[in-house]
Amino acid sequence: MDHQQIDRLNGKLWQNRYSNPAGNYGEAHDILEKAEKTGYGRGAAYARLNMATACFLRSENREAFELISRLIEYFYEEREEPGYAWTLNLQASLFESLGDYEKGLSLAHKAVKQACDSGDHEAEADSASILGLIYSRLSNCPRAIDYYNVALKIREEQQDFPGVASSLNRLGMISRLTGDHEKALEYYFRSLEIRRQNNLLSAVPWTMLGIASTCEEMGRYDEALDYYGQGLLNSDKRCALQCETGRGRIYGILGDTGRAEEALLKSLQMAEELDARALIAEIQMALSGHWEKLDQPAKALEAWKKYHDAREALMSEEAQNRLMKVEITHAVEKSEQEKEIYRLRNVELKEAYDTIDEKNREITASINYARYIQQAILPQPEEIPWLAESMFILYLPKDIVSGDFYWFTGKEGKTVITAADCTGHGVPGALMSMLGVSLLEEIVSRRGIINAGEILDALRAEVIRSLKQTGLESGSKDGMDLSLCVIGRERRSLQYAGAYNSLYLVSESEMTEYKADRMPVAIHHDMDKRFTTHYIPVKPGDMIYLCSDGFADQFGGPQGKKFRSKALAGLFVEISSLPLHRQQNILEQRYLEWKGDLDQVDDVVILGVSIS
């Protein structure tokens, strides 16, 4: 089978992905075998994407995640491929189904940007639909409706009938949540008609679930039971467990406690198998009411506590703050920054005639907002599959925003990692850090430079150009110190280059410090000297550490002295054999204990990477 034929078969499966997930999985598996036999990486990636999609549609989330972990590296390297946005959407849907709305929201926003940049209207509509679903889960109905209508408009223009039916179904859901039951039923029955006309039988149970839920809320319990029963026919596990939950609630209302308990416990078991946290919370609440009716207060209280714990985990203040950060970040990425800044500026001007205290609060709020933007541009280990389980990041800004930053990316099978310390801290340092990230993206991701020393040479040239540095006494001398390494595909060797900041390697409890060049990434008196590239062999079990000088320069301890680089290197040796999360926790705890009540003197960033 030639490559063009593999591409055609993959494309056909993707277009028909909703019609027969079980059959599609088998066909995609056959395509995968043929692609791997001919060494066709693109064909293998799209085959795995079709398999992962089929698994998700059958509520086989664990298998879907496993397949994505094997295909994402291809699309991360080939971001112009349509499959990159499709994979982001699939990941967003998976995290939404698990109740991890923060990751779902972030991935869906990334997918929207990628789809818009590439002109992929189908993927754009899918992203908007996922965003609508997440916002509906968060009880933000106005935002959900906006996104659902965006998705519906695109799908109608594209004559995407399965997509139109899906949008109508979700508009029905949001109408139900806002109490407009008649409108909800209108949407659901329009969706049902399209799905039946187009033989979208695997999607029909979801429409039945929506109709049943609406009838239940309207008090039409016999109809609701009938539609819940129809929803159980040929449905996937996620739809089935929600139908069972609905049946359990209604049986309880009708006084059939035996059937109620059977249905609720059955749905709880399915929800726990799928790790669907939002649905587990919903079922525990229903069970609490069930046990209360049966005059079993101990069981009712236990179920209520489990509901409360699950709900708190989903909707904690910390989680809400992180979601707000994601929302703000991607609003900026969608070019709404100028509008928001204009709004904030007018608010500040209006309140400038109030008290100094009020003005200070506004300034602090603006810097907090800047922190969200700064943190949003920093990469996440999940973007590079092997790093997700092989890295910890300790990041402690001195002020709200930081002059230290970290950055990593994958290119040509290699992984580039850096920890940097920019001139200054606070707002000036943060501006330099954002410039550093932008320049590294240009040098590595776009120009394709992946030699460690050459990256620093190019970065120095770009910093000098961007800041118009001339070397004159009155001119800018801002820049950055950093350590940067390039880890090879097989992770058996690495390159290192540094500007003042060393690289620490711990192998079998032995520490080796690789010294950096004594010059910054900025204008310098010895500009003819190039940065040195060190080639370092590594092996499984080794730990490497990259850091700024913030930890070592912190004053504290019983005599108020600096911690010192030598003591930090010794601490790296001490913790190197521990799990990564324990290493991070110990470093942070030791730092805070050393600092005590003294002020933090500088930003802190430490990256620890395990070679596996």
Task: Give me the helix-helix angle, 565-575 and 580-595, nearest 10°.
Answer: 150
pLDDT at 101 over 50: yes
Residue 165's nearest CA partner among 125, 107, 135 is 125
**Amino acid present at 532:** T
Asked if 124 contacts 116 with a C-beta cutoff of 8 angstroms, the reply is yes
Cα atoms in the 13 Å half-sphere on the side-chain side of 312: 6
- Sign of torsion, CA 174 176 178 182? positive
SS3 assignment, position 102: helix
pLDDT tens for 465-523 read: 988 887 765 556 688 999 999 998 788 889 999 999 999 999 999 999 999 999 999 98
**In terms of CATH, what superfamily is 380-610?**
PPM-type phosphatase domain (3.60.40.10)
Two structure tokens written together for 493? 């060797």
Q: Give the mean pLDDT of 386-404.
A: 89
Two structure tokens written together for 418? 């850096």
More confidently predicted of 159 and 328: 159
SS3 assignment, position 589: helix
Residues forming a β-bridge with 537: 493
pLDDT at 1 over 80: no
How far is the C-alpha of 56 from the C-alpha of 21, rounded, in Å? 9
Could you identify the residue written with the tokens 């108020």?
560
The residue ranges of every structural domain in the chain are: 328-373, 380-610
Residue 522's nearest CA partner among 561, 568, 476 is 476
pLDDT tens for 188-223 read: 999 999 999 988 888 899 999 999 999 999 999 999
Two structure tokens written together for 457? 């040479």
How far apart, in Å, are the Cα atoms of 438 and each of 332, 366, 375, 512, 593? 15, 22, 13, 31, 35
Determine the pLDDT at residue 314: 58
Residues forming a β-bridge with 505: 512, 544
* Predicted TM-score of the model (pTM): 0.46
DSSP state of 600: P
Asked if 505 contacts 463 with a C-beta cutoff of 8 angstroms, the reply is no
Give the number of other Cβ atoms within 10 Å of residue 473's Cβ: 6
Determine the pLDDT at residue 395: 93
Q: What is the percentage of the chain residues whose pLDDT exceeds 70?
A: 89
How far is the C-alpha of 400 from the C-alpha of 17, rounded, in Å? 46
Residue 611's nearest CA partner among 516, 490, 514 is 490
Q: Give the mean pLDDT of 131-139.
A: 86
